[in-house]
Amino acid sequence: MIRSAVIPAVLCLSLAVNTNTAAAATPIPAGQRVKDIRVIGQSVRVDGTVQDRAIVIDGDLTVGPHGKVTDPILIGGRLRVEGGGTVRGDVLHLGTSWPAISPLAMWSLVTLLIALRLAVVWAVVSAASLIARRPLGQDLMASATGQPTRTVLAGALTAFGLLTGCLLLTLTLIGLPVGLALGGLLLAGTASGVSLLLVATDDEAPARRITLVALAVPFFGDALAALATVLGLGAGLRYLADSRPRITSTSRGPAQA
């Protein structure tokens, strides 16, 4: 999962580096040797030799009868190897084709995602504000500060387990409801963690506005939400553990006549 998330960033950085690269619209004829190929949006035919790596995004890679390619990476395209062609190393192939999206549809999708993010942030901060105003907020703060190390460890392990289960279950139609439920638990942990910040501040209104803006910022808000989720889940587990009725056993003496 981490590899699939990092690959696009690495490819974008590699495309920006000025090295010995074949032209995107020019095939590699027989007998020609190039260091690498990095192409976006076009197909490539290799009849020569690619020494290092061939990276093709949103295009097809065809290896001819005399072509030699090492460690090819294809995203949104197809790999065709004709008789006599050679492909060495590992082949990383993500998807076969990407749908053509118009600029209007792209902007609409981006706007929808931004609106959805803001709605989720607003819901989380509103729920955290409600928790902070109730005695539950003070109880969560007491549970979190009582044993902070255990709180963080328990919250981190729980968050990792819930996130893993959510991602795996949402891949199937049967597990989708359970995956959504686990996602709801993660959001509840985020709200609990944000409520700890609101409880710790003297004036809730400014803290609520600052938290709302901070969570809405990409990347920084994601890191802040992850930290709040870990603290909130850990505090919630500690609170549930402390709220359990303690069962004490008493020894019985010999029966008296």
SS (H, E, C) 102-159: CHHHHHHHHHHHHHHHHHHHHHHHHHHHHHHHCHHHHHHHHHHHHCHHHHHHHHHHHH
Establish how many alpha carbons lie within 13 A of residue 29's alpha carbon, considering only the half-sphere containing its beta carbon.
Answer: 1
Tell me how far CA of residue 15 lies from CA of 24, 37, 76, in angstroms.
12, 10, 16
The answer, yes or no, to whether residue 24 has pLDDT greater than 70, is no
User: Predicted confidence band at 8 (pLDDT cuts at 50, 70, 90)?
Assistant: very low
pLDDT single digits (tens) 77-130: 788 888 888 888 888 877 666 566 677 888 898 899 999 999 999 999 999 999
In this prediction the pTM is 0.58
The answer, yes or no, to whether residue 156 has pLDDT greater than 90, is yes
